[in-house]
């Protein structure tokens, strides 16, 4: 295709391209089987209110363990699923499972928890998403306001008008929308102004060198200011050590997620780890 003498990465040979395609197709076929066989699971990573120490929400993260025990990372299989309609089936499974899990928490200490679910671009462009989600949440008698859909900036760019229509419809029904990996993409301020977004997730690349780098701290503070002025919650991603957490708290960041605060866990383990909405 576009491989030319100007391309900076060395173009694959035909044989290498074929091998890649074969691998992609084999992962896709195995994934399709895994979905049907019930081999996908959800793990839930805590999103903490770092001002109060309370559990604020969780992010549902899909997990695939092959029958031989090998774990395949979502960074590997989600992009492959996104190249076919498989992502629609996976997205639907993830959403149904996350809503069922949220329903199972009703009546307990974690009943008010927000559940974040990652969305793929093609789920948004079809336009069927709002009705599908409304049907699922009605069936389980769940408040839609506890469900937060995570989108990335690049998704907003693909078909901005269609995506904006779907987002507004989802907001009317009551779902919340969060912008994932914020700062890595190209969303314009105009988009942030006009789209019905309720929170920003500061990409973990800005959190990483927070305690040592002047500029990283300046960027983090700028994102926090932006969120504050637009009345958006800001959730810092990828907090791994106490120094990063301390800087974020000092900057007035209200919410955080990362291995320091909690790893992704199966639902039953999460419930045990946060008996009264606080870490045990």
In the list 24, 74, 142, 169, the residue contacting ligand C2E (rule: CB under 6 A) is: 74
Compute the C-alpha angle 101/155/261, nearest 5°.
45
Q: Beta strands 255-256 and 40-49: pairing type?
A: antiparallel
Q: How far apart are CA 276 and CA 202, in angstroms?
A: 27
Cβ neighbours of residue 205 under 8 Å, at least 6 residues apart?
Answer: 183, 184, 238
Tokens for 44, please give them: 């839930």
259 forms part of the interface with ligand C2E (CB under 6 A): yes
Smallest distance from the beta carbon of 18 to ligand C2E, in angstroms?
27
Q: Please give the full DSSP string across 136-184, using - where no structure is assigned.
A: HHHHTT--GGGEEEEEEHHHHHHSHHHHHHHHHHHHHHT-EEEEEEETS
x/- binding map, residues 96-135, to Mg ion, per CB under 5 A?
----------------------x-----------------
Q: Which is nearer to Mg ion, 8 or 265 (CB)?
A: 265
Block residue for tokens 């973990």:
204
Tokens for 49, please give them: 């209110």
199 forms part of the interface with Mg ion (CB under 5 A): no
Q: Which is nearer to ligand C2E, 99 or 119 (CB)?
A: 119
181 forms part of the interface with Mg ion (CB under 5 A): yes
Smallest distance from the beta carbon of 180 to Mg ion, in angstroms?
4
Q: Which is nearer to Mg ion, 79 or 108 (CB)?
A: 79
Q: Which is nearer to ligand C2E, 89 or 109 (CB)?
A: 89
Q: How far apart are CA 29 and CA 10, in angstroms?
A: 29
Smallest distance from the beta carbon of 222 to ligand C2E, in angstroms?
20
CA atoms within 13 A on the CB side of 216: 16
In the list 61, 72, 173, 251, the residue contacting ligand C2E (rule: CB under 6 A) is: 61
Q: Which is nearer to ligand C2E, 62 or 197 (CB)?
A: 62
Smallest distance from the beta carbon of 79 to ligand C2E, in angstroms?
9
In the list 55, 62, 115, 265, the residue contacting ligand C2E (rule: CB under 6 A) is: 62
Q: How far apart are CA 167 and CA 149, in angstroms?
A: 10
180 forms part of the interface with ligand C2E (CB under 6 A): yes
Cβ neighbours of residue 202 under 8 Å, at least 6 residues apart?
Answer: 182, 183, 220, 223, 224, 234, 235, 236, 237, 253
94 forms part of the interface with ligand C2E (CB under 6 A): yes
75 forms part of the interface with ligand C2E (CB under 6 A): yes
Report how far apart the first and last C-alpha atoms of the chain are (Å, whole number).
55
Residues of this chain that interact with Mg ion (CB under 5 A) are 118, 150, 180-181, 237
Residues of this chain that interact with ligand C2E (CB under 6 A) are 45, 61-62, 73-75, 78, 94, 118-120, 150, 180-181, 204, 238-240, 257-259, 264
């Amino acid at each position: 295709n576009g491989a030319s003498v100007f391309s900076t990465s060395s173009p694959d040979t035909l044989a290498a391209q074929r091998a890649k395609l074969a691998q992609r197709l084999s992962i896709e076929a195995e994934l399709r089987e895994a979905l049907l066989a019930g081999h996908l699971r959800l793990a839930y990573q805590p999103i903490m209110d770092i001002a109060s120490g309370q559990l604020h929400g969780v992010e549902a993260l899909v997990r695939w363990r092959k029958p031989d025990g090998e774990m395949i990372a979502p960074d590997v299989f989600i992009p492959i699923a996104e190249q076919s309609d498989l992502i629609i089936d996976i997205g639907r499974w993830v959403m149904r499972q996350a809503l069922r899990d949220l329903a199972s928490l009703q009546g307990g200490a974690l009943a008010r928890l927000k559940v974040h679910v990652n969305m793929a671009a093609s789920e948004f462009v079809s336009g069927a998403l709002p009705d599908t989600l409304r049907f699922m949440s009605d069936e389980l008698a769940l408040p839609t306001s506890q469900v937060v859909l995570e989108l990335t900036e690049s998704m907003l760019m693909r078909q901005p008008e269609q995506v904006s229509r779907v987002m507004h419809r989802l907001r009317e029904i009551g779902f919340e929308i969060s912008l994932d990996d914020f700062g890595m993409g190209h969303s314009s301020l105009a988009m942030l102004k006009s789209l019905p977004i309720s929170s920003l997730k500061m990409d973990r690349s800005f959190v990483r060198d927070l305690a040592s780098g002047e500029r990283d701290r300046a960027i983090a503070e700028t994102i926090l200011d932006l969120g504050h002025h637009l009345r958006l919650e800001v959730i810092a991603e990828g907090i791994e050590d106490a120094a990063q957490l301390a800087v974020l708290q000092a900057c007035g960041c209200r919410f955080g997620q990362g291995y320091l605060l909690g790893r992704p866990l199966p639902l039953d383990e999460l419930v045990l780890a946060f008996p009264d909405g606080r870490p045990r």
